[in-house]
């Protein structure tokens, strides 16, 4: 038996960049959280940890400067530092900007009117001279100090960062959510993460940059370099081609929807270990893996023709206009019973399905095989042999609903942003158990019979909501007396609950405490009516 040492970084095998020797330059712009203030060494800072995870095909530059702001008119703008000049000189392929915590301090936030323009200008500075890095904007970590700073950060800075990301075509890394309520475990003080917190930030960035696939690590507890593998067979030669040599796989992460077979011998021979969940240290199987198979682990036995009804909106997956063209968009639309809303599911192995539109014969496809959040879902001619971006793993949710996980990326097919309207787009996104990423497989004949009733149930609400988007308060008109009003987030969790006054009429809802994002206001105790709120 040949022994293997894991040499390469944690990369997605299904992506073509694995074959290139080119080094990807990652530049991290930020304040003291990025610089690693209060940590024992620079190697504990999240950019250094991210570099270890990404491995030798990436170079990660830590350009963090303590105390700095995005705002230009403060006493310590990042713009005036040598690190800013250096960051631009590195000509990044990937740019991560993590500023905003110091901006939120009351002394600096007096210039908040400049924040969007200053942030946009920094993005433009990195795009000069024809450069086009992939850009990620970070929601700052939770802070636990000055109450005004906390309020400014949560209620104003983060919504403005979201606004900039949308306007400038950038992506988001959310450092805020995973650090909420963790002052005692992830921080050295009220602002600065400890070593465990920095590791969490690195993992958060890494998981945002990479697909959610089975991952194989060099060391126990998911340490050292690693490799991510999509569905397929990987013998010794295939692993060598990825830079894997001499058996040194010590821990494995297996996301929901996948299973892993790790073989002692080459070409899938000898004893093997089967995993359907994470294993932080392989124990007796440590340093023994010579070949690997990755398979789907979904719900089987669902071959058939269905209309796919979204749990959140009640609308149906639909090939736009019934177009037969490759690249025709897939969106949601009210139930019509037409063939362009009917899809044939064919199990291609272990609960992974090819999904073909009845009207067009084309299959559901994630555009270009992208592994990124918000990558578009469309139709395309079925690839010979079946491409992994045309395979979807069926996972049970509850109450008869299912998730469709793109096999190549590990991300869910969902209605973008939880939209409730006809023509809202369908894309892929992380599995956060969001209701708009769950689907009812309604037998085609049954959906025809029920579509009229469904349309009636989900008809447009009579109430009007304004302003929308909102930052502080929204007003809801034409509400009956003593009506229960519930605001839920994108995954269906209740975040606000109130009643209309005894006189009925208009109701004001204070949304200032909510984070930026999409929410849904439901009227009455049932869920028959919902209005989308965009919180800035």
The residues spanned by each domain of the chain are 4-209, 215-219+226-296, 304-457, 465-535
Confidence of residue 243 (pLDDT cuts 50, 70, 90): low
CA distance 416 to 439: 14
Confidence of residue 463 (pLDDT cuts 50, 70, 90): low
- Section 233-250 average pLDDT: 78
Confidence of residue 318 (pLDDT cuts 50, 70, 90): very high
Of residues 137 and 482, the one with the higher pLDDT is 137
What is this structure's pTM? 0.66
- Section 512-523 average pLDDT: 82
* Residue 534 confidence (pLDDT): 78
What string of H, E and C letters represents the secondary structure of 421-489? CCCCEEEEECCCCCHHHCEEEEEHHHHHHHHHHHHHHCCCCCCCEECCCECCEEEEEEECCCCEEEEEC
pLDDT at 288 over 60: yes
Confidence of residue 65 (pLDDT cuts 50, 70, 90): very high
Percent of the chain with pLDDT over 90: 62
pLDDT at 5 over 50: no
* Residue 244 confidence (pLDDT): 65
Own/partner contacts of 525-532, CB < 8 Å, gap of 24 or more, are 525/484, 528/457, 528/458, 529/461, 529/463, 530/420, 530/461, 531/461, 531/463, 531/465, 531/476, 532/418, 532/419, 532/420, 532/421, 532/468
Check: CB of residue 285 under 8 Å from CB of residue 40. no
Tell me which of 2-11, 37-46, 57-66, 241-250 is least confident.
Answer: 2-11
In tens, the pLDDT along 356-411 reads 999 999 999 999 998 888 889 999 999 998 899 999 999 999 999 999 999 999 99
In tens, the pLDDT along 172-219 reads 899 998 999 999 999 999 999 999 999 999 989 988 888 889 988 878
Q: Return the CATH number of 4-209, one of 3.40.50.1110, 3.30.1180.10, 3.50.30.30, 3.40.710.10.
A: 3.40.50.1110
Please name the residue ranges forming H helices in 190-291.
195-209, 236-241
CA dist list (Å): 162 to 170, 214, 291: 9, 30, 43
User: Tokens in use for 82?
Assistant: 């040598």
β-sheet bridge partners, residue 352: 349, 393
Name which of 248, 533, 221, 211 is nearest 393 in CA terms. 211
Of residues 114 and 10, the one with the higher pLDDT is 114
Name which CATH class applies to 215-219+226-296.
Answer: mainly beta
Give me the CATH code for the 465-535 domain, please.
Answer: 2.60.40.10
CA distance 319 to 80: 51
The residue behind tokens 């009455």 is 524
Name which of 410, 405, 487, 408 is nearest 438 in CA terms. 405
Question: Mean pLDDT score of the chain, rounded to an integer?
Answer: 87
Q: H or E segment at 508? A: strand 505-510
Same-fold call for 215-219+226-296 versus 304-457: no
Confidence of residue 523 (pLDDT cuts 50, 70, 90): confident
Helices 115-126 & 158-168, crossing angle to 10 degrees?
40
* Residue 529 confidence (pLDDT): 55
Query: What is the second-level CATH architecture of the domain 304-457?
Result: Trefoil (2.80)
In tens, the pLDDT along 114-123 reads 999 999 999 9
């Amino acid at each position: 038996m040949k022994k293997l040492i894991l040499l390469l970084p944690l990369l997605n095998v299904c992506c073509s960049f694995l074959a290139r020797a080119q080094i990807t330059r990652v530049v991290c712009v930020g304040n003291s959280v990025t610089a690693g203030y209060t940590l024992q060494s620079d190697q504990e800072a999240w950019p250094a940890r991210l570099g270890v995870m990404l491995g030798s095909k990436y170079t990660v530059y830590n350009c963090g400067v303590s105390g700095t702001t995005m705002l230009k008119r403060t006493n310590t703008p990042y713009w005036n530092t040598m690190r800013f000049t250096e960051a631009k000189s590195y000509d990044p392929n990937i740019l991560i900007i993590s500023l905003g915590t110091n901006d939120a301090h009351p002394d600096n936030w007096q210039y908040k009117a400049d924040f969007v323009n200053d942030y946009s200008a920094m993005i433009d500075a990195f795009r000069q001279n024809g450069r086009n890095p992939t850009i990620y904007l970070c929601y700052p970590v939770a802070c636990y100090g000055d109450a005004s700073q906390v309020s400014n950060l949560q209620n104003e800075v983060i919504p403005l960062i979201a606004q900039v990301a949308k306007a400038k075509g950038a992506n988001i890394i959310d450092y805020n959510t995973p650090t909420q309520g963790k002052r005692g475990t992830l921080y050295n003080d009220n602002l600065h993460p400890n070593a465990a917190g920095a590791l969490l930030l690195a993992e958060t960035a890494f998981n945002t940059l990479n697909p959610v696939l089975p991952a194989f690590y060099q060391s126990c507890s998911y340490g050292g370099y690693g490799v991510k593998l999509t569905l397929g067979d990987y013998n010794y030669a295939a692993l060598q081609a990825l830079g894997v040599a001499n058996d040194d796989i010590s821990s494995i992460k297996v996301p929901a929807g996948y299973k892993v077979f790790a073989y002692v011998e080459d070409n899938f021979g000898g004893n093997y270990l089967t995993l359907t969940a994470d294993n932080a240290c392989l124990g007796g199987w440590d340093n023994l893996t010579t070949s690997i198979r990755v398979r789907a682990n979904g719900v089987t036995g669902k071959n058939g023709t269905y209309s796919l009804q979204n749990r959140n909106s009640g609308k149906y997956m639909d090939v736009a206009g019934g177009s037969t063209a490759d690249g025709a968009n897939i969106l949601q639309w009210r139930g019509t019973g037409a063939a362009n809303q009917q899809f044939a599911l064919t199990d291609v192995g272990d609960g992974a399905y090819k999904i073909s539109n009845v009207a067009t014969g084309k299959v559901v496809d994630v555009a270009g095989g992208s592994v990124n959040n918000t990558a578009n879902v469309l139709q395309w001619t079925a690839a010979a042999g079946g491409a992994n971006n045309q395979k979807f793993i069926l996972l049970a949710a509850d109450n008869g609903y299912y998730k469709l996980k793109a096999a190549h990326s590990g991300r869910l097919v969902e209605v973008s942003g939880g939209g409730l309207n006809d023509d809202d787009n369908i894309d892929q996104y992380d599995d956060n158990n969001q209701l708009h990423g769950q689907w009812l497989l309604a037998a085609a004949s049954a959906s025809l019979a029920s579509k009229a009733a469904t349309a009636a149930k989900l008809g447009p609400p009579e109430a009007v909501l304004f302003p929308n988007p909102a930052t502080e308060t929204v007003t809801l008109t034409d509400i009956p007396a003593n009506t229960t009003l519930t605001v839920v987030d994108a995954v269906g969790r209740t975040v606000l609950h109130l009643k209309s006054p005894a006189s009925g009429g208009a109701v004001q809802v204070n949304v200032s405490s909510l984070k930026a994002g999409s929410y849904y206001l439901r009227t009455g105790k049932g869920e028959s009516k919902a209005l989308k709120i965009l919180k800035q």
